[in-house]
Amino acid sequence: MTARTSTVLGVDVGTSSTKGVLVALDGTILRSAVREHAVQRPAPGQVEMDAEVWWDEFVSIARELTAPADAEVTAIGVSGMGPCVVLTDEHGTPVRSAILYGVDTRAEEQIRRLTHVLGQEEIVAHCGAVLTSQSAGPKIAWVAEHEPEVYARARRLFMPASYLAHRLTGEYVMDHVSASQTAPLYCLREQRWHSP
């Protein structure tokens, strides 16, 4: 019987595709795979994706890369574009399509309003930057204002990588870099959630 190679599976969700790579512990790339996907543009300034597509692509890539029985996956790493707003119910089931990063500009009014109410200096002091179309917080406010029935069902916020981590482990986690993109909801300086 031949020994199986210890490997790491890495998967990245991008704007136009999900990419995966199987790497031996010495850094040798053994196999790679790509699944292309498209964004939806439901209205001008709006760019979305179905988070379930990311999971389906992850599963497809993982199966393809691990189909030969010569590798033992010892760790899985996930990464993804961001910031994106993936709102789910308490079980982690998406309640709407994910709103993408700065290419989605639907929340310009919410950015102006939040900046006026909270104050730009206060936002920068806690979040490290001004609110822009990259900021997830104003997009969540947009959902609350324009889709109140959807917002009422939302219990969790994910980004692509944290959504995949949840699907893999059942845990609700988000790394500090992704959390920092939820301005004004996260205090970058103190690395904790912030209630403005």
Residue spans per domain, the chain:
5-193
Q: What is the pLDDT of residue 71?
A: 86
Query: What percent of the chain lies above the pLDDT cut of 70?
Result: 98
Q: Which residues of 38-47 are buried (b: 16+ CB within 10 A; e: fewer)?
A: ebeeeeeebb
What distance in Å separates the CA atoms of residue 101 and residue 103, rounded to the nearest whole number?
Answer: 6
Degrees to nearest 5, angle at CA 147 with 80 and 149: 110
Q: What is the pLDDT of residue 2?
A: 55
Nearest to 180 by CA among 104, 103, 132, 127: 127
Task: Pick out the chain residues at pLDDT < 70.
Answer: 1-3
What distance in Å separates the CA atoms of residue 7 and residue 9, rounded to the nearest whole number?
Answer: 7
Superfamily of 5-193 according to CATH: ATPase, nucleotide binding domain (3.30.420.40)
What distance in Å separates the CA atoms of residue 32 and residue 22, rounded to the nearest whole number?
Answer: 6
Q: What is the pLDDT of residue 195?
A: 79
Q: What is the pLDDT of residue 35?
A: 99
pLDDT digits over 80-133, tens only? 999 999 999 999 999 999 999 999 999 999 999 999 999 999 999 999 999 999
